[in-house]
Amino acid sequence: MSRKTDALSVEQALETALRFCRVTEPELCAIGDCADRILAEDMRAAISSPPFRRSAMDGFAVRSEDLCGASGQKPVILTMLGCNDAGSPVIRHIGKGETAQIMTGGVLPEEADAVVKQEIVELRGQDTAVFSAPAKPGDCFSPIGEDLQEGEILAYAGETVDASALAAGAAAGLSMLSVRKQVRSAVICTGDEITLPGQPLGEGKIYGSSHLYLMTRLRQFGCADAKAYFAGDDPSEIAQMIREQIEAGTQLIVTTGGVSVGRKDYLPAVIDMIGGEILFHGIEVKPGMPSMLSKARDTLILSLSGNPYSCACVFELIAGPMITAMLGKRCIRDRVLQIPAADSYNKRSPVRRILRGCFDGMSVHFSSRQRNGQMAAGIGCNCLIDIPAGSEGIREGDKVRVILINSTL
């Protein structure tokens, strides 16, 4: 088995990870189930929308030539044939000197080329309408295909199906979309000290928390039904859990704990046990230096520190882009920005350091707590702040490299 043990930069580690990511297969899904899924094919309109000439207001469909010269002094009187309500095109034709009342969304009669709003039309009896102003061809109605044309590309492969895409697709006559299958993922937490929330907390034990962060983020990135498993510190049990996930077709396994150099850091040995290959072990960044990526058959295994923020930090740097690649997602906006610091960070950084922060749209604020074991420090944070190796600190107003996470800005 070949093993790569030299520590890589974050960029090298990510490049290595992306080389082994395979795009998931496409599947057809009902359009109503495609929210936030990634298109596997371009979304093309099956029909034009609107598919008929549609009135933009309540009024009267007319032939504009019939109203030439109409004025208050010289009104034009037309015979009203009936009314076209939305969805009920009763009057399909009008001739010279004729009109049809029409409601918003109604179908224009074939010869009509304008709609006159009802507020400026006088009704006399049941079948006579008086017009005191001319009309221009095209007034107050939507032509066929005003919104979209049959065959038009509404969204491209690799784009996320958002609310607008769903609405446009439905209007364009689509009932099914080709989307990428969601990535099958799992979280395996190691460590005899871990206790599940809700259970009594024994001496020397802690409640597990990283699995909830990881499962939430996996689902947000587009993984299907991510579940967590707990293996303690038994290498055989850890190996068996990983084997079971591989057999189940899991494409990405994220493990926590057991990757450093302690007495119970068994993950490198576990990868040996399952016949896997370590692609890298060690990233030149704090926190998360001992992080490791392995491959066993078609499954990628990202092994992260048991320390909560170390785990979360490298997950965002490496796993997020991996899932994006596996879904074939187009990255339209770079999530890395240069942003002025809203406050100072006075600690030296001999090595590259990733801090938690909050970008308010103008500047970035450092979280007041930055220790690796402080999960609460991440509440309200929407970005990571990338401090280069050798930094002597950051002053207010200095531009810093910011990696957006959990951000709608």
3-state SS of 40-93 is CCCEECCCCECCCCEECCCEEEECHHHHCCCCCCCCEEEEEEEEEECCECCCCC
* Phi, psi angle pair for 104, to nearest 5°: -55, 125
What is the secondary structure of 88-144 as a DSSP string? B-------TTEEEEE-TTPBPPTT--EEEEGGGEEE-SSSEEEE-S---TTTTEEPT
d(CA 317, CA 370): 17
Cα dihedral value 332, 333, 335, 337, nearest 10: 150
- DSSP code at position 157: T
CA pair distance 296, 336, nearest whole angstrom:
31
- Residues with Cβ within 8 Å of residue 123, at least 6 apart in sequence: 80, 129, 130
What is the Cα–Cα distance from 298 to 382, expressed in whole angstroms?
A: 32
Structure confidence at residue 366 (pLDDT): 92
Burial of 301 (0-12, 13-18, 19+ CB in 10 A): buried
Strand partners, 5: none
Cα–Cα dist 353/361, whole Å: 23
How many CA atoms lie within 13 Å of 354's alpha carbon, on the beta-carbon side?
A: 28
Each residue of 183-198: b (16+ CB within 10 Å) or e? bbbbbbbbbeebbeee
Which two tokens mark 161?
């199906």
Q: How far, in Å, CA of 301 to CA of 45, rounded?
A: 40
Domains, the chain, in order of start with CATH, read 10-24+182-326 (3.40.980.10), 27-49+146-180 (3.90.105.10), 54-142 (2.170.190.11), 336-404 (2.40.340.10)
Phi-psi region of 82 (alpha: psi -120 to 50; beta: other; left: phi over 0): left
Question: Mean pLDDT, consecutive 10-residue segments, the chain of 409 residues?
Answer: 68 96 97 96 97 98 97 96 96 98 98 97 94 97 96 96 97 98 96 84 84 94 90 92 96 93 82 97 94 97 93 95 94 78 92 93 86 74 94 94 76
Rounded CA-CA distance 52/150 in Å is 12
Tell me the backbone φ, ψ of residue 86, rounded to 5 degrees.
-60, 125
What pTM did the predictor assign? 0.86
For residue 269 the two structure tokens come to 């040995």
Collapsed DSSP state (helix, strand, coil) of residue 271: helix
